[in-house]
Amino acid sequence: MTKRQLPDTWLQNRKRWTALLIAVFLLGGAWTQISRLPPPDAAGGAPPASPREGFAAPDFTLELLGGGTVTLSELRGQAVMVNLWASWCPPCRAEMPAIERAYQDLKDDGLLVVAVNTTYQDSEAAAAGFVAEFGLTFPVALDRNGAVSNRYQLRGLPSTYFIDRQGIIRSVVVGGPMSEGLIRAKIEEILKETP
């Protein structure tokens, strides 16, 4: 091999590597564009509301046990407690009497409880039996396909969202059972605010 061949071979290899790197970057960019996730399904192309404190509560419309529907956004102006639960969940069973007592005492002040049964992992019959057993008087919504649980990024049962009169999540409690004192403190804080 002569001295003249060495630089030409090195130069040819360098051009090949450069071309290969450019091709890899272009193909990688194209693949990134092709395989990206679709934009979130939300009104106006905006991302869905976050299920965290300080953010708007994700809206939903669900059928109610016994008939009718409930739409969260139509409850603006009231303090709303959204409780996701299942009949087989021991902490759900333990905290439900406290939720009912707080509801009875504070509903005339503007409290509304919406108990969202995770029907996709429970059953409508079990939910109805649970409601009868505990004598629940607030609306019980049925999340039959898990859409609300997904929107609220359900991590554990029970999960409770305390929502102010403007539809903003003020507090989130994952797990339980919650004490009646905790429930009342969170609700009364929201009720003290002017509508």
Per-residue confidence band for 4, with pLDDT thresholds at 50, 70 and 90: low
In-domain check, residue 59: yes
pLDDT tens track for 91-107: 999 999 999 999 999 99
Q: Where are the alpha helices (DSSP H) in 36-179?
A: 90-106, 124-134, 147-151
The one-letter code for the residue type at 82 is V
In-domain check, residue 43: no
In-domain check, residue 89: yes
For residue 94, the model assigns a pLDDT of 96
For residue 18, the model assigns a pLDDT of 80
In-domain check, residue 41: no
Tokens, residue 192: 């003290």
In-domain check, residue 62: yes
Q: What is the mean pLDDT of the chain?
A: 86
Helix (H, G, I), strand (E, B) or coil at 34: helix
The predicted model scores a pTM of 0.74
CA distance linking residue 87 with residue 85, whole number of Å: 7
In-domain check, residue 22: yes
Q: Which residue has the higher pLDDT, 176 or 37?
A: 176
For residue 67, the model assigns a pLDDT of 95
Same domain, 151 and 184: yes
Domain range for residue 16?
1-36
For residue 11, the model assigns a pLDDT of 58
For residue 106, the model assigns a pLDDT of 95
Mean pLDDT computed over 123-129: 97
pLDDT tens track for 79-95: 999 999 999 999 999 99
Domains contained in the chain, number: 2
In-domain check, residue 162: yes
In-domain check, residue 42: no
**Sheet with 79-85: strands ordered across:** 69-71, 61-64, 140-142, 111-117, 79-85, 159-163, 169-174
pLDDT tens track for 18-62: 877 787 777 766 656 554 444 444 445 555 545 889 999 999 999
For residue 5, the model assigns a pLDDT of 53
**Which domain CATH number covers 134?**
3.40.30.10
For residue 22, the model assigns a pLDDT of 84
pLDDT tens track for 140-152: 999 999 999 999 9
Same domain, 73 and 21: no
Same domain, 24 and 73: no
Indicate if the pLDDT at residue 109 is higher than 80: yes
Indicate if the pLDDT at residue 10 is higher than 70: no
Tokens, residue 122: 């429970």
What are the b/e assignments for 45-55, b being 16+ CB within 10 Å?
eeeebebeeee
DSSP state letters, 161-177: EEE-TTSBEEEEEESSP
For residue 150, the model assigns a pLDDT of 92
Same domain, 105 and 22: no
For residue 32, the model assigns a pLDDT of 60
